[in-house]
Structure 1
């Protein structure tokens, strides 16, 4: 079987789809990943055969603006390499492609934020492309795979085949301090993912946060792009800063402070690490609301600090609370157990194989 995986947006989309794509390759299927140029390095870093379809990064919520070019690029690709099945994510462009090719379509996402309204808008925006291709309607996905633990799914989320989250990130040479806990100290991880150099904490208080944590005897790691270490390393005192494989270091941490990215949040949940989330956009806020609503995190809204509290104090106070209250770690471990009990990519692959066989 030939499976075309399609991704756009951030590196998180590549990391999210990599376990299922790897399972398909390990089962003997042919796999190609269609992605944007900015995502090529991420695809290569996790061992996926990737084809560039556009030079610029796709922006979610802009299907109507870029659909024609993306569909044409995908049609050119599939004219040379004809898939038996298409796997897509948040964008509905791959769904158009599958309808045009008359092959099954699988939607594969992390459904933690309400998407019904945005989905309806995106489908309406794609109507001109359907007419251009001679399609009368956009059929529903043949299979909907959701990586989100059921306890975090939003109300009204569509029925889905749950799948276990398997961490995938770009690796580097692993050193002993990454996979061992510091003796006699707790450890906190701070990261802004791959979109920003460092976390933009309320009141631009990253240095203060580091000082508060280290002053309390906590070891601080900052997982960031290499250029962040060059620019900020000397300013942040006694910390390790640079590209740190999140899946390796997460099990050694007692706390994580981050921006609300999907890969970051689920990799930390997978390791049972309580989180303080400083969302950098609406999606990050939805992640923070879901995880904090379960009791496994604290949401630090940079625009709405608690009454009488300075913005810079919000994150610091939240870290103190998480480190001082074992219930946050207990709730996160409960989520980790729920996620670990979900079907593996190998198991879900059997459902995909059945779509093509029928």
Structure 2
């Protein structure tokens, strides 16, 4: 079977789909990953055969603006390499492609933010493309795979096939400190994911947060892009900063402070690490609200500072609270156990194979 995986947005989209794509490849299927140019390096870093379809990064919610270019690029690709099944994510462009090719379509996302309204808007924006391609409607996905733990799914979320989260990130040479807990010290990880150079704290003072944590005896690691380490490393005191494989270091951490990325949050949940989340957009806020609502995190909304409080102190106080209260770690371990019990990518692949065999 030939399966076309499609991704857009940030590197997190590549890391999220990689376990299922690898499972398909390991089972003997031919796969290709259609991605934007900024995501090609991430695809290569996790061993996926990738082809570039557009030079610029796709942004969710812009289907109508970029649909013609993306659909035409995908149609050109599939004239030379015709898939038996298409796997897409947040964008509905791959769904148009699957309808045009008359092959099954699988939607594969981490469904935590209520997206029904945005989905309806995106489908409406694609109507001109349907007419252009001679399609009367955009059929529903043949299978919806959701990586979100059932306990975190929003009310009214569509029925889905749950699948276990399997961490997958770009790797580097692993050193003993990455997989070893420091003796006699707490370890706190800070990251802004792959989309931002550095975490934007409420008071824009990451140095103060680092100083407060190290002053309390914690070891601080900052997982960041190489260019961030070069630019900010000298300003942040006695910390390790640079590209750190999150899946390797997470099990050694007592707390993680991050931006609310779904890939980051799920990798930390998988490792049983409580979180302080400073969301950098609406989707990150939805992630933060869900995880904090379960009791596995504290959310600090930098766009809504608490009256009369120093915004940096709010972040520091949240870190102190999580480190002092074992209930956060206990709730995170509950989520970790829940996700560990979900079907693996190999198991879900069997359902995908059945779709193509119809």
TM-score (norm 2): 0.99
- Greater Cα shift, 310-319 or 117-126: 310-319
Structure 1 residue 305: Cα displacement: 2.5
Q: Quote the Cα distance in structure 2 between the aligned partners of 1:101 and 1:195.
A: 33
Q: Quote the Cα distance in structure 2 between the aligned partners of 1:307 and 1:321.
A: 20
Q: Quote the Cα distance in structure 2 between the aligned partners of 1:340 and 1:308.
A: 42
* Deviation digits for residues 265-293 of structure 1 (CA, Å, limit 9, x no counterpart): 00000000000000011111010000000
Q: Quote the Cα distance in structure 1 between the aligned partners of 2:208 and 2:278.
A: 15
Structure 1 residue 346: Cα displacement: 0.1
5+ residue gaps, structure 1: none
Structure 1 residue 218: Cα displacement: 0.3
* Deviation digits for residues 121-176 of structure 1 (CA, Å, limit 9, x no counterpart): 00000000000000000000000000000000011000000000000000000000
Structure 1 residue 233: Cα displacement: 1.1
* Deviation digits for residues 242-262 of structure 1 (CA, Å, limit 9, x no counterpart): 000000000000000000001
Structure 1 residue 197: Cα displacement: 1.1
Q: Quote the Cα distance in structure 2 between the aligned partners of 1:164 and 1:117.
A: 27
* Deviation digits for residues 91-128 of structure 1 (CA, Å, limit 9, x no counterpart): 00000000000000000000010000000000000000
Q: What is aligned with 2:295?
A: 295
- Greater Cα shift, 294-303 or 308-317: 308-317
Q: Quote the Cα distance in structure 2 between the aligned partners of 1:79 and 1:229.
A: 43
Structure 1 residue 230: Cα displacement: 1.3
Divergent runs of 4+, >4 A: none
Structure 1 residue 228: Cα displacement: 1.2
Q: Quote the Cα distance in structure 2 between the aligned partners of 1:354 and 1:194.
A: 35
SS of alignment partner, residue 33 of structure 1: strand
SS of alignment partner, residue 32 of structure 2: strand
SS of alignment partner, residue 182 of structure 2: coil
| 2:207 counterpart of 1:232 | no
Structure 1 residue 303: Cα displacement: 1.9
1:33-182 matches, within 5 Å, as 33-182=33-182
Structure 1 residue 306: Cα displacement: 2.7
Q: Quote the Cα distance in structure 1 between the aligned partners of 2:240 and 2:326.
A: 26
Q: Quote the Cα distance in structure 2 between the aligned partners of 1:340 and 1:305.
A: 36
Structure 1 residue 307: Cα displacement: 3.2
SS of alignment partner, residue 244 of structure 1: coil
* Deviation digits for residues 165-197 of structure 1 (CA, Å, limit 9, x no counterpart): 000000000000000000111100000001111
Q: Quote the Cα distance in structure 1 between the aligned partners of 2:320 and 2:302.
A: 17
Q: What is aligned with 1:18?
A: 18
Structure 1 residue 312: Cα displacement: 1.1
Q: Quote the Cα distance in structure 1 between the aligned partners of 2:195 and 2:107.
A: 24
Q: Quote the Cα distance in structure 1 between the aligned partners of 2:75 and 2:96.
A: 10
Q: Quote the Cα distance in structure 2 between the aligned partners of 1:196 and 1:165.
A: 23
Q: Quote the Cα distance in structure 2 between the aligned partners of 1:183 and 1:312.
A: 28
Structure 1 residue 308: Cα displacement: 2.3
SS of alignment partner, residue 237 of structure 2: coil
Q: How many residues get paired? A: 358
SS of alignment partner, residue 309 of structure 1: coil
Q: Quote the Cα distance in structure 2 between the aligned partners of 1:235 and 1:356.
A: 54
TM-score (norm 1): 0.99
Q: Let me know the Cα RMSD of the aligned residues.
A: 0.5
Q: Quote the Cα distance in structure 1 between the aligned partners of 2:153 and 2:73.
A: 33
Q: Quote the Cα distance in structure 1 between the aligned partners of 2:319 and 2:287.
A: 18
